[in-house]
């Protein structure tokens, strides 16, 4: 815990809290404040324990807040874009609402891997792609999607979709959306037929996973909505409320034969149960391959639905988890009825 605190390791957020005896403030492990000396730190399993020990919450890392949910203004902006993706939301409009355009840009870049304006452009591109595929004239798709010039549209389209607009009639794309959950926002990706990615937006491997999707499916990635995302939101809500143990939304998970074998093994672990890496390897008929199984487990692109969180260390420890150990603990607690 001390090492996690000194390293500001976000993966330990939610697993413990650190009380600083010199200031009587308690923090998350990832708190950006100056780190104290070892002899001035006390550790607590919950914020409640720290409060009862006389510590007050840090004003920098806000340990009493979830900290992973999107701010209300982000949801408001995204809803506005989704209501009319062709409408441009300029910096002056953000300022009128009391929002700093630079802060908005930084938040979207950190949480979603693109600035807010890039997100808006990508949504307009996604709409144009769909319109062209549905047989609309390119001119109508350009101006109907909010583009002001053909040249700007063609350049952006070719860069994002990696093909000219005219070729879109015979092409498809992977739709990207952001899903809010009690454990923080997640990035979802889907083809027309199936969900192919669900990852926490702060996962370090997210960019690599998106590149893998483009390579595996040979399709561009563009923000867009899908009936599959609505179904996913409903099923995740039921799961976190304790009303769902399995998911019905169709999924597709291309990979090597070994990776698919491991991921299919994960799907067979019953709700509320766990397996060690060695036990999972043995159940797949490859005893002694626990390390390789663990590696494939970490490359799973569909978190929660393909339950890689149900695999733990031989000693009962949590092991690794791309979304952070605190999320793995929360997921296991949710499935055991302690969420």
58 is catalytic: no
27 is catalytic: yes
Which residue out of 27, 58, 120, 196 is catalytically annotated?
27
Which residue out of 31, 58, 61, 308 is catalytically annotated?
308
Interacting residues of 311 by C-beta distance below 8 A, sequence separation 6+: 266, 269, 274, 275, 276, 277, 280, 294, 297, 319
Catalytic residues: 27, 308
């Amino acid at each position: 815990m001390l090492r996690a605190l000194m390293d500001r390791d976000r993966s330990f957020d939610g697993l413990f809290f650190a009380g600083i005896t010199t200031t009587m403030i308690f923090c998350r492990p990832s708190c950006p404040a100056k780190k104290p000396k070892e002899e001035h730190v006390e550790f607590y399993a919950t914020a409640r324990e720290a409060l009862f020990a006389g510590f007050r919450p840090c004003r920098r890392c806000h340990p009493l807040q979830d900290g992973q949910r999107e701010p209300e203004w982000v949801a408001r902006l995204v809803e506005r874009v989704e209501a009319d993706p062709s409408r441009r939301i300029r910096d002056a409009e953000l300022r009128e609402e009391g929002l700093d355009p630079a802060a908005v840009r930084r938040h979207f870049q950190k949480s979603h891997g693109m600035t807010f304006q890039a997100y808006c452009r990508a949504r307009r591109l996604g709409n144009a792609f769909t319109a062209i595929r549905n047989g609309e004239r390119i001119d109508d798709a350009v101006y109907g999607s909010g583009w002001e010039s053909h040249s700007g549209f063609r350049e952006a389209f070719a860069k994002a979709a990696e093909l000219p607009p005219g070729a879109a009639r015979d092409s498809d794309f992977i739709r990207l959306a952001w899903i809010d959950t009690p454990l923080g926002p997640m990035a979802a990706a889907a083809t027309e037929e199936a969900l192919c990615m669900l990852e926490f937006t702060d996962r370090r491997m997210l960019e690599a996973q998106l590149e893998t999707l483009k390579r595996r499916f040979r399709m561009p990635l563009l923000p867009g909505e899908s009936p599959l995302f609505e179904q996913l939101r409903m099923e995740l809500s039921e799961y976190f409320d304790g009303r769902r143990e399995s998911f019905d939304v169709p999924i597709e998970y291309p990979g090597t034969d070994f990776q698919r074998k491991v991921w299919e093994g994960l799907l067979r672990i019953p709700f509320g149960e766990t397996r060690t890496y060695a036990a999972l390897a043995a159940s797949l008929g490859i005893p002694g391959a626990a390390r390789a199984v663990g590696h494939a487990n970490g490359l799973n692109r569909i978190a929660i639905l393909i339950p890689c969180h149900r695999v733990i260390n031989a000693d009962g420890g949590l092991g690794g988890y791309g979304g952070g150990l605190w999320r793995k603990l929360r997921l296991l607690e949710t499935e055991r009825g302690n969420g």
